[in-house]
Structure formats: C-alpha cells, structure tokens
C-alpha cells in the first residue's frame, strides 16, 4: 500500500462503523439500481457508509454510462441469447454479468475518502487483493483500478460520485465466460470475434482458472469482509435497507426502463454519422485510446465550426452526467 494511502488510514478520517448489506442473490436489475439509489439518498437520509455484497439471479449485459448501445453491444446476439441489457450509472465498457461473479459495492461520504482517484482505488481495493491472496491467487493492485494476477485481470472496478457520496463497484470472478463475453460485443466484422474471445481468455483470470477447487461464495465473502475490517480499520455492522431506500431503488429501476435512460447518450444527437455534405459541412467520428479508456468522439461541423458533439466510450467520469450537458449545449 502506498505511503499516501497508509497515511490516510492513520489519519482516522474514515468512519469506524459501516453498514453491511449482505444481500446475496437478487433480481438482476437490482445489482445496478441499488448502489445508484443508496448514493442518491445517503446525504438526505444520513445513512451510514455502506458495503453491499450481491450477485444477479440471471445473466445480463451491462453497458457503461457513456456508451452508445448499437456500437457497443451486438443486439442480435444478445436477443438470441435471451439476454436483457441495461445502462448502468457508472462508466466503463459493456460487460456480460452472471451468477459466477460476486459484486462488492461501496457507498461512502466523499469527505471521508482520498480525493485522488488513484488513492481511492488503492485504498478500497486492498481488501480485494488480500482476499485473492488468501486463497492462493497472487493478486496485486495495478493502477488505475485493476486487480491483476499473473498478468490476468481478476477484478473489474469502477467509481462514480453522486451528490456527496462516492461509489465503488467491483467483482470477484468465480469463472469468466470469455466466449459469451465476446458474443455480446459489437465487432466491425465477425472474423474479429474469435480474436476477441481468445484475447479475453488470455487476459482474464478467475478463481476457476487459478484453483483446482473453488471456494464457496460464503467463504469468499467471509474472507473479504474480514479483510475489509482489518485493512481499513472499520467495523461492519449487519443492517437492512430503509423503506425510503427501497422506494428509491424502485424509482431508479423504473427510470432504467425508460428510453431516456436506456438511450441516454443517443438522445444527445445519435442521428450524426460519418458523411460529408459539402465543403466545410460534414459529420465525422474519431476513436482515441487513452490511459483511462476508449473515447468515441462524434462531431458535426458546419462552415468549419463545431455545431454538435457526442462523446461516448468505456471511460469513467466525475461528475457523471457532465457529457450529457456538453452534448446539449450550443457550441
């Protein structure tokens, strides 16, 4: 653990008692709505910092907040595989999620965590690293937000801030479905799909990959909770959802079903495409790979001036909805 993170732990700024919601298997949509809802109402309800342990009751596809659906996932394949899809309230790329993953979700007061994202990730991913190590998997934290063992990613993580609450979401991967993951991704040509699948198999790790015998979900969760308390000097107290939180979760799930949410990025001007109209008037797109993720930039030029812009991709961003405002603004 870095010196800054170690100093932060010694400073005693974080709450010593957190709520633990060990919810187990829940309806698939709730795995995304719950952290969104709890973060939105934490300040208002003065609820404690919370750790959630959860996994979905069925497979589904989850796209990042800033992604465009039809260029991120293969809608024909998701339909043939009977997979529902949802836009989450956190950045990153499209992923295939199922019961072979255990999600940990952290909701905490922004005043009590390191401001720098690198330090925030390093702090809260330390218990994840130690949990993998306990079971004999040589995990380590790799900036900015990965947990890696022998060059294989064994945990995907993202963060987002709502009001005064910072959220971190991540997973323990029991088994990784590389072929199913490759099927749900949009590819320019089918010949690339096998390459994607083989790359995923080479670069992703799991408990099943490293171990001859899988530990139970209960064993993994129990070890993680113990490391969370020990490494972060926190006491986790089993709790329940408040009725106001349950109501907000239902409200968020209703929102997720709306076209305004599902096509959140597209609503900013998805009709743009690559085509020249005349000299100085054209539509264009730029794809750029940066350390934080892949950025897709769609631009509308008129008389050599930018008239509209859509920014999408598999990156994370705070505040989370700033791109929506940029897309709607007159430039």
Looking only at the bridges linking them, the beta strands covering 275-278 and 139-142 are unpaired
Question: Residues 6 or more apart from 90 whose CB is under 8 A from it?
Answer: 64, 65, 158, 159, 160, 167, 169, 316, 320
Entry pTM = 0.84
Whether omega before 319 lies within 30 degrees of 0, making that bond cis, reads: yes
Indicate the SS3 state at residue 38.
Answer: helix
* pLDDT tens digit at each of 331 positions of the chain: 777 888 887 777 778 999 999 999 999 999 999 999 999 999 999 999 999 999 999 999 999 998 888 888 999 999 999 999 999 999 888 899 999 999 999 999 999 999 899 999 999 999 999 999 999 999 999 998 999 999 899 999 999 999 999 999 999 999 999 999 999 988 767 877 888 888 888 889 999 999 999 999 999 999 999 999 999 999 999 999 999 999 999 999 999 999 989 987 765 544 333 333 334 545 566 777 777 777 777 666 766 677 777 777 787 777 787 777 766 665 5
Cα 212-139-207 angle, rounded to 5 deg: 30
Radius of gyration of the chain (CA): 20
State whether the Cα torsion 152-157-158-161 is positive or negative. negative
DSSP letter assigned to residue 204: B
CA atoms of 166 and 107, how far apart (whole Å): 6
Closest CA to 86 of 61, 104, 107, 121: 61
Indicate the SS3 state at residue 33.
Answer: helix
Give me the domains of the chain, ranges plus CATH numbers. 3-261 (3.30.930.10), 267-328 (no CATH)
Reported as half-sphere exposure (CB side, CA atoms, 13 A), residue 266 has a value of 12
C-beta contacts of 272-276 below 8 A and 24+ residues apart: 272/298, 272/299, 272/300, 272/308, 272/310
Crossing angle of helices 30-45 and 243-256, in 10° steps, is 130
Question: Residues 6 or more apart from 166 whose CB is under 8 A from it?
Answer: 39, 106, 107, 108, 109, 110, 113, 120, 159, 160
């Amino acid at each position: 653990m870095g010196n800054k993170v170690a100093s932060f732990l010694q400073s005693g700024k974080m709450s010593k008692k957190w709520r633990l919601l060990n919810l187990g298997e829940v309806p698939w949509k709730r795995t995304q709505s719950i952290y969104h809802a709890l973060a939105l109402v934490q300040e208002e309800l003065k609820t404690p910092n919370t750790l959630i342990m959860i996994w979905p009751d069925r497979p589904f596809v989850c796209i990042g907040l800033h992604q465009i659906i039809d260029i991120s996932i293969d809608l024909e394949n998701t339909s043939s595989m009977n997979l529902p899809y949802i836009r989450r309230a956190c950045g990153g790329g499209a992923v295939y999620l199922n019961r072979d993953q255990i999600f940990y979700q952290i909701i905490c007061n922004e005043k009590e965590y390191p401001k720098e994202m690198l330090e925030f990730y390093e702090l809260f991913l330390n218990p994840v690293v130690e949990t993998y190590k306990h079971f004999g998997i040589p995990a380590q934290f790799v900036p900015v937000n990965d947990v890696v063992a022998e060059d294989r990613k064994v945990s995907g993580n993202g963060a987002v801030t709502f009001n005064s609450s910072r959220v971190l979401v991540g997973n323990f991967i029991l088994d990784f479905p590389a072929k199913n993951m490759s099927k749900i991704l949009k590819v320019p040509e089918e010949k690339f799909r096998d390459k994607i699948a083989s790359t995923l198999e080479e670069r992703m790790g799991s408990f099943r990959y490293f171990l001859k015998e899988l530990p139970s979900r209960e064993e993994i969760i129990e070890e993680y909770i113990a490391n969370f308390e020990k490494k972060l000097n926190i006491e986790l107290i089993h709790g329940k959802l408040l009725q106001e939180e349950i109501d907000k979760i239902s409200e968020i799930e209703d929102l997720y079903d709306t076209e305004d949410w599902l096509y959140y990025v597209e609503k900013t001007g998805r009709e743009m495409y690559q085509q020249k109209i005349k000299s100085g008037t054209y539509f264009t797109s730029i794809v750029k790979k940066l350390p934080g993720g892949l950025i897709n930039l769609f631009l509308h030029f008129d008389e050599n001036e930018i008239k509209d812009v859509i920014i999408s991709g598999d990156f994370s961003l705070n505040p989370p909805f700033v791109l929506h405002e940029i897309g709607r603004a007159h430039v």
